Structure 1
Amino acid sequence: MIEWLLMEKLTLSKPDFCSLFPSSGLMEIRSVSVGVVAIKSVSTGLYLAMSKKGTLFGSARYNPSCKFKERIEENGYNTYASLRWKHRGRQMFVSLNGRGKPRRGHKARRRHPSTHFLPMLPT
């Protein structure tokens, strides 16, 4: 089991990011199958999940809404798209705005910097 710290490419303010998962931002990324991951908060034990409308929420139990397709982009950052849900045939991505609050999945695109995350080992 490897613990990763998700660092967003933009500047995050800690209190806003903690509104989704009240922790230090330490997340655990587990491989479910090839290219598919589950993201879990270390402190709360909640799984990151995406609703049909593209909103991010914490789920106490692992379910199909907790599966995300992980892709390593050309710039070295990772993107995470919901495996279960799509909006008009387009993927919905995990995305944070400049203040660290989650954006709805259908508002973000793969190339937008708000969807780029950098997995790091905790120090």
Structure 2
Amino acid sequence: MTGWNLAIYPDMSVKGTREFYNIYAILEVRAVGKGEVQVRGVDAGLFLAMSPKGKLYGEPNELKENTVWVETLSGAFYNYLSKKHAHIGWYLGIKKSGKGKKGHKTEYGQRAVQFLPRHPYPIG
């Protein structure tokens, strides 16, 4: 909702990009359980994860629990709650500056935690 496209870079950093077709912003979302997903940066080959301090980063090991997100739909927007940190309500978020928002600074309903799915190719 902040106008940024989420990108996972090979150096394990996660941040927003304004480039709609940035190679690092091509993400694969796959189901791993009922209402649970993993997000993988296709080019970087890393999974979106949240550290114990709430920082977003790219994780090479898909089996780590901090790579699983609870996906919910709120109106037209998707929210991603960290499964590992769900008990304290930490969401995936991107600030207005494009930097990842730390989990402890997020809460349901903030613009920073609302995401729109995007199509891999232009429609029309």
User: What is the CA-CA distance between 1:24 and the residue it aligns to?
Assistant: 4.0
1:16-95 counterparts in 2 under 5 A?
Answer: 19-20=13-14, 23-62=23-62, 63-73=64-74, 75-86=75-86, 89-95=87-93
Q: Which runs of 5+ in 1 are unaligned?
A: 1-8
* CA shift digits 1:76-105 (9 cap, x unpaired): 10000110124xx43100000012110101
How many residues are treated as equivalent by the alignment? 111
Tell me: higher relative CO, structure 1 or 2? Use CA pairs within 8 A at least 6 residues apart.
1
Distance 2:81 2:26 in 1: 19
SS for the counterpart of 1:84 is coil
CA 100–24 in structure 1, closer or farther in 2 if over 3 Å, else same: same
TM-score by length of 1: 0.80
Pick aligned residue for 1:117 from 112, 115, 118? 115
Conserved 8 A contact 1:71-1:78: yes
% same residue: 26
SS in 1 for 2:39: strand
Could you tell me how far 1:49 is from its partner in structure 2? 0.4
Q: Which 5+ residue runs of structure 2 have no aligned equivalent?
A: 16-21
Cα gap change, 1:58/1:13 in structure 2, threshold over 3 Å: closer, same or farther? closer
Counterpart for residue 3 of structure 1:
none
Name the CA shift for 1:45/1:108 in 2 (closer, same or farther; >3 Å): same
Aligned counterparts of 1:66 and 1:31: Cα–Cα separation in 2: 12
Superposition deviation, residue 41 in structure 1: 0.2
Residue 23 of structure 1 deviates from its aligned partner by 3.5
Name segments (4+ residues, structure 1) moved above 6 Å: none
Q: Matched residues in 2 for 1:83 and 1:29: separation?
A: 15
Q: CA deviation at 1:17?
A: 7.7
**Equivalent residues of 1:10, 1:98 under 8 A apart:** yes
C-alpha separation between the residues in 2 aligned to 1:28 and 1:42? 6
RMSD: 2.3
